[in-house]
């Protein structure tokens, strides 16, 4: 009787065939999830930053401007669009259905330094464009320090400091550098 040594390659082929048989069994087939799952209904956004604003763009094909709702609560911007009614609920004669219908929504946290109350939105050819201007820098305000005896110090307001500039040096009451 002749005994052949086993090869690693032959064992790998046998393992592959066993795995293929296992996945052919209906018990191990992956469950098909409906295309209307929550993950597939998330609205895709493009976010651009220009010198003076933050711009969000969303493609909303087949949606009318009156079906778009944009709201800001605190620092969270929410865009939702679409109709709650399914216009294509009839399934008779349908062979393939790939067009998504219904509502889509997306919430994003806005960065600091934008003025959401001054935002503007345009909707043209299925593209929503939301421009949120950057807030103007806040002026630096000096807070007076008083003594318990009631001494009073004058409150001064310094001009806003632009990015890259050094803050102005404080000046004394006579206009000289302090």
Residue 101 vs residue 89, higher pLDDT: 101
Q: What is the pLDDT of residue 57?
A: 95
* Model confidence at 123: pLDDT above 90: yes
Rounded CA gap, 54 and 130, in Å?
Answer: 8
Query: What value, to the nearest 5°, has the Cα angle with vertex 143 and ends 137 and 147?
Result: 175
CATH code that applies to domain 38-85+99-133:
2.60.40.790
Burial 33-58 (b: 16+ CB within 10 A, else e): eeeeeeeeeebeeeeeeeeebbebeb
pLDDT grade for 4, boundaries at 50, 70 and 90: low
| 17-66: pLDDT as tens digits | 888 887 776 655 555 444 444 444 678 899 999 989 999 999 998 889 99
> What percent of the chain is predicted at pLDDT more than 70?
66
Q: What is the pLDDT of residue 146?
A: 83
* Model confidence at 73: pLDDT above 60: yes
Greatest extent of the chain over all pairs of C-alpha atoms, in Å:
115
Q: What is the pLDDT of residue 46?
A: 93
Q: What is the pLDDT of residue 49?
A: 92
Look up tokens 């709201």; give the residue: 71
CB of 70 within 8 A of CB of 132? no
Give mean pLDDT, residues 98-107. 83
pLDDT grade for 136, boundaries at 50, 70 and 90: confident
Task: Give Cβ neighbours of residue 155 (< 8 Å, ≥ 6 apart).
Answer: 141, 142, 143, 144
Domain coordinates in residue numbering, the chain: 38-85+99-133
């Amino acid at each position: 009787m002749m005994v052949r040594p086993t090869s690693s390659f032959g064992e790998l082929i046998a393992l592959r065939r066993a795995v293929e048989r296992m996945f052919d069994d209906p018990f191990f087939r992956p469950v098909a999830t409906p295309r209307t799952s929550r993950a597939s209904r998330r609205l895709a956004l493009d976010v651009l930053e220009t010198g003076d604003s933050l711009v969000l763009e969303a493609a909303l094909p087949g949606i009318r401007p009156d079906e778009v709702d944009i709201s800001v609560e605190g620092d969270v911007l929410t865009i939702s669009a679409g109709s709650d009614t399914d216009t294509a609920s009839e399934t008779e004669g349908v062979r393939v259905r790939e067009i998504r219908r219904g509502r889509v929504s997306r919430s994003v946290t806005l960065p600091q330094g934008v003025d959401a109350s001054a935002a503007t939105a345009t909707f043209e050819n299925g593209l929503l464009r939301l421009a949120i201007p950057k807030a103007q820098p806040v002026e630096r305000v000096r807070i007076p320090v008083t003594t318990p005896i009631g001494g009073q110090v004058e409150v001064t307001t310094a001009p806003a400091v632009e990015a890259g500039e050094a803050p102005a040096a404080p000046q004394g009451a006579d206009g000289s550098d302090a």
